[in-house]
Homo-oligomer: A and B are copies of this chain.
């Protein structure tokens, strides 16, 4: 069984297969009977709960409140913002009827043709339209602003090629939707949320990200500016991990949402929206995990420590358990989450393999010899190293170790990204380098045409125009025209 558990495809053999094997074998998620929709299994969902908990706290600390808006959007709403309909109204789940009836010809049920909706309802692919239609009733004066709402919800986009967590027809996410009296305030909000996302990615996911803006081609449908965080996966492909949009007055105009400003003038309201999704779990996996299984950052692991007793008989187990109870209590006192696996039906070897696969940051093994010596075996998942440590002050040792692991996996990912990020100055060189993966920093003339040409010829897209770093102008690697600064190209998920 331990062997079977470990039978992951290796990353070098087939990265994509490794990813899929890992998601299934680590019990994170699986495909469901409904095309493109996944079941998020308890262990995967526990990671999502940790993500939610931290983000929700960060949203509230920055003044946001949660609310809930309808799952369904009247079809006509999607057409009200011209760009938005192009981006979202095409591949979506359409509700056309509201009743089934017994099949007159036999068994089962059929759609009742008499129960056709006057106007079709779309299962929300994103909620700008229904929310701005609602905000119209909430906003009359500048005194009603800002509105700083977030919702945790499921959304549906009818994707043709799906991959667990990374691209699924239904996924879970949060979507913030804010309304402001001034352009400056809305832009500041979009940037604040970008910082929240970047901070979360780096401090909790241990995933280094580059903050930037999207080009017009890659922008959210209906946005004036899309801010994003981009991460680099182990296979050299980029992952867009979160976006924050400055929407200008586009949705206010589409839904006629105006307010009386301080000078007693009628004005359209300014908007932002921002979101991250269960896709983050895919990013988490592809940033840290290895051929032995998941590697979870301590700050998001469902449990940070697992304790496995190694015993010959019930008496010895009882002695070990007594000691473990003390350790568990002390660890919890320091805020460390811990699982004691005393399941007698599984052998220690099986448990070791299982928790390695599941990426538990620290494993403690305690046997008869340890009881005698007052020691415990400490194994860390990130380096796969083991050491024997005194039980004295073990809780502080573990708490420090967890911090160390969190820092270490971040550093490892940051070093990897640094090694895969390089400046490229000619298009010939670009075509060669893009095959090796990674972030390529290149000059680009700023036109959608050149961007399209590069995408068509190399499958690489501009991931973002970085906000930080080198801002030296140059000349486009393709057209030789002026370039304001280097931008980041990569192939992406």
**Residues in chain A within 8 A of chain B (CB atoms):** 30, 32-34, 37-42, 45-46, 48-49, 65-79, 85, 89-101, 107-109, 111, 120-123, 130, 133-134, 137, 143, 149, 153-154, 156, 158, 170, 172, 345
Tell whether A67 pairs with B40 under 8 Å between CB atoms, given A100-B122, A123-B123, A154-B154. Answer: yes
A96/B97 in contact, CB under 8 A: yes
**Closest Cβ–Cβ distance, residue A233 to chain B (whole Å):** 24
* A130-B100 contact, Cβ under 8 Å, with A71-B170, A109-B85: no
Give the residue of B74, B108, B109 whose beta carbon is less than 8 angstroms from that of A33: B74
Contact A71 B156 (CB under 8 A): yes
Determine the chain B residues whose CB is within 8 A of the CB of A143 once the complex forms.
345
Q: Are B41 and A67 in contact (CB under 8 A)?
A: yes
CA distance A120 to B97 in the complex (A): 10
B78 touches A109 (CB 8 A): yes
**Complex alpha-carbon distance, A74 and B108, angstroms:** 12
CB pair A91–B99 under 8 Å, yes or no, is: yes
Contact in complex: A98, B109 (CB < 8 Å): no
How far apart are A49's CB and chain B's nearest CB, in angstroms? 6
Residues of B with C-beta under 8 A to A120: 111
Nearest opposing residue in chain B for A32, CB measure = B70
Check B45–A109 contact: CB distance below 8 A.
Answer: no
Indicate if the CB atoms of B109 and A77 lie closer than 8 Å. Answer: no
Number of copies: 2
Q: A32-B70, A45-B66, A96-B96 are in contact. List 17 more A-B contacts (CB 8 A).
A: A30-B137, A32-B130, A32-B134, A33-B133, A37-B70, A40-B67, A42-B149, A72-B170, A75-B100, A75-B109, A85-B109, A89-B100, A93-B98, A94-B100, A94-B111, A95-B96, A123-B123
**CB-CB < 8 A to A69: which residues of B?**
32, 39
Interchain residue pairs A-B with the least CB separation, the first 6: A37-B70, A42-B65, A40-B68, A79-B108, A94-B97, A98-B158
Is A99 touching B158 in the complex (CB atoms < 8 A)?
yes
State which of B49, B67, B94, B100 has its C-beta within 8 Å of the C-beta of A90. Answer: B100
Q: How far is the CA of A90 from the CA of B77 in the complex (A)?
A: 27
Give the CA-CA distance A34 to B73 in the complex, in Å.
Answer: 7
Given contacts A37-B70, A40-B68, A69-B32, A76 and B108 within 8 Å (CB-CB): yes
Instruction: For residue A154, give the distance in angstroms from its CB to the closest CB of chain B.
Output: 6
Q: Are B45 and A68 in contact (CB under 8 A)?
A: yes
Q: Are A72 and B134 in contact (CB under 8 A)?
A: no
Instruction: Report yes or no: B108 in contact with A72, Cβ–Cβ below 8 A.
Output: no
> Distance (Å) between the CB of A201 and the closest chain B CB?
22
Most chain B C-beta atoms within 10 Å of own C-beta, residue among A66, A94, A154: A94
Assembly CA distance A108 to B49 (angstroms): 39
